Amino acid sequence: MSETTAAGRLLTPALTMTGRCVRIGRRDVDAVITSMMLPVMLMLVFVYFFGGAINTGTQYVNYVVPGILVLCSAFGSSGTAVRVSEDMKGGIIDRFRSLDVGGTSILAGHVVASTLRNVFSTALVLSVGLLIGFRPSASAAGWIAAAGILLAFLVALSWLSAAVGLMAGTPEAASAFTFFMMFLPYPSSAFVRVETMPTWLHGFAEHQPVTPLIESLRGLLHDQPVGTAPWTALAWCGAILAVAVCLSGVLFRVRTR
């Protein structure tokens, strides 16, 4: 069998599964609206309710929008856990297996569909941010680099969510992951500077994966020095992706014996 034929046999089911996940997600109107509107509402709350009281050395809207973009990505990607868990509970996986559709293709469909949904949600959040005063000064290269880092985070987190969905016994248990991912950006530099946090929290906030990602986006979008933050963020994304892909492969084989 040629490499082209082998790649085609893997790619075709993955594209089919992606189309299925996109159609299912489109019918879940409540989840679509929530994933798009919740980050927008949080951005408006922080900018207009708290922005005047928080000193970040710049206009607060310019400081907080990169953090909201990451929060949007985290919240939207975590929904993949629920969708994978629903597939496992509903028995549809057995039908796919009888059609010789492998676990990689099934999970890849969920991951790609999640990434597409979140690209749209992120674009909406960015558009609203521009309407309320967000003024990035990035060059074309800065925009491309920021988009690439955020896309890497989306893919890594979507795969991790897929693994959680395989691990969870019920969709309700998987939905708890949504809360965890929504909480993670708060103890970071998303809304306030890390230096202003209590000493016991400072270390965690500075060294968790979300902070270098936000600092990278903030620096790139405002054309400021970013140091090693982008490489740290990409290293975190690569590590999360590698662990998630391996773990999801093992879990899928265990769950479908």
Task: Name the one residue in this structure whose structure tokens are 């959040």.
Answer: 125
Q: Average pLDDT, whole number, for the chain?
A: 83
- What residue spans of the chain are helical by DSSP H? 3-27, 29-45, 60-90, 92-98, 103-131, 140-167, 171-183, 199-207, 210-221, 229-255
- Whether residue 218 contacts residue 232, with contact meaning beta carbons closer than 8 Å, is answered with no
Q: What is the pTM of this model?
A: 0.86
CA distance 238 to 216: 16
What pLDDT digit, counting tens, does each position of 54-104 carry?
888 888 999 999 999 998 888 888 888 888 888 777 677 767 766 666 667
CA distance 161 to 251: 13
The reported pLDDT for the residue numbered 101 is: 66
CA distance 134 to 113: 28
